[in-house]
Chain A
Amino acid sequence: MVKNITIFTSDTCGYCQMVKTYLKAKGIGYKEVNLDHEPERRAEAHKLSGVLTVPVTVVTKTDDSQEVIVGYNLAKLAPAVN
């Protein structure tokens, strides 16, 4: 079961928009961290994902385990959030 979802994004990133559109269409809530507005959180996104790219979607489960999905990757995103 999903407890919460955080998406690291930027103002200009098209793939971030796709992740948000997908979650919205499924009626799933999320928190957004926009790295253009909160640049101090870039290191956090990097540490979680191991890469320097957005979107990074962090799905926290009710047992507090986390699944991190890099990019707009429906094959991983869909099973993680549904």
Chain B
Amino acid sequence: MHDVVMVGAGPAALTAAIYTTREDIDTLLVEKGVVGGLAAVTDVIDNYPGFSKGVHGLELAESLREQAERFGAKIELGEVSGVHDEGELKRLETTSGDILAKAVLITTGCDYKKTGVSGEEEYYARGVHFCATCDGAFYRDKRLVVIGGGNSALQESIFLTRYATHIDLLVRSNIKASDVLQKEIQPYLDNGKITVHLGVTPKEIVGDDNGVTKVIGTSSDGKDIDFNTDGVFIFIGLKPNTAFLKNSKVKLNEQGFVITDNNLETNVKGIFAAGDVRSGATMQIASASGEGATAALKIREYLEGRLHNPKVEQLEVTP
């Protein structure tokens, strides 16, 4: 049995683990993918404080992991498929058996949304991709289509210019990315490396035995347009990783994000949530880390029986 089990090992959980383990709270993180979460599959992070020249996502993830492990956090590779509230104890179903914990922190973040268009499933990883830092290297000197108009779509398009000869960026309505990214992408629009097509919705991804050959898009006036390409990268937003909570008592909002109170506690006592998976999260590494730190301190109060007892003295933070 552990004092706290964290589901996922992205920036929110790793930061929380640094705090809990420094307080001698026995902490286990269960991670099904990459330690470091989405931060580990992002090329360069320019807005995480303390790195004046930016930091590679992999490097930040590795340092967070080392820091958490230095204080005694244990990271187990596996997937959590259910969380059950058994009063004082919580039981987590995982790929390597059941784990008991006094408290649980849900930090499972989000995953990429799919378009649902024909060809997307069929050509997955054979021309249809969701991770530029993983699969971009296969598109050296090739043409690409990127679908999406938010921060990720612009950031990843810029990354992919290091490989691709040309990128068609298909945007359903208007660009919704930050001003900073819109400024960053401008030189690539000026030199013709990226062409933005506003008001184009993907209709079909077409290919042959060798992979993808074109994307058919529909313009706002209903006309079909062919975009010849060697591959498609899709960044149309994120959906929370909360399917494993389906049979739990934890309340989710309409989009499936976990609802918490100001203590980052869910409606189930002893089950907390932090980072991108939480309803109201601002989807940034700095905020995920901040929420991780807050959740850790609230978990400490919970384990000490102080969180639900307002009469007890205020929290003391170890410097």
Contact = CB atoms under 8 A, between A and B. Distances in A.
A17 B40 contact: yes
Interface residues of A, number: 25
B140 interface: yes
Interface in B95-151: 95, 125-127, 129, 131, 133-138, 140
Nearest to A13: B134
A68 to B, nearest CB: 13
Contact of A14 (B40, B136, B231): B40
Given A12-B58, A17-B58, A42-B140, A54 B34 contact: no
A74 B43 CA distance: 24
B68 to A, nearest CB: 14
A10 B131 CA distance: 12
B61 interface: yes
B57 interface: yes
Contacts of A15: 33-34, 41, 134
Nearest to B39: A14
A39 interface: yes
Interface in A1-32: 10-18, 21-22
Given A17-B34, A17-B58, A53-B125, A12 B77 contact: no
Contact of B135 (A36, A50, A54, A72): A54
B35 interface: yes
Interface of A: 10-18, 21-22, 35-36, 39, 42, 46, 50-54, 70, 72, 74-75
Closest 6 CB pairs of A and B: A14-B40, A12-B133, A51-B125, A52-B138, A10-B137, A14-B41
14 contacts: A10-B136, A12-B41, A13-B41, A14-B57, A15-B34, A17-B40, A17-B62, A50-B126, A51-B125, A51-B126, A52-B135, A52-B211, A53-B125, A54-B134
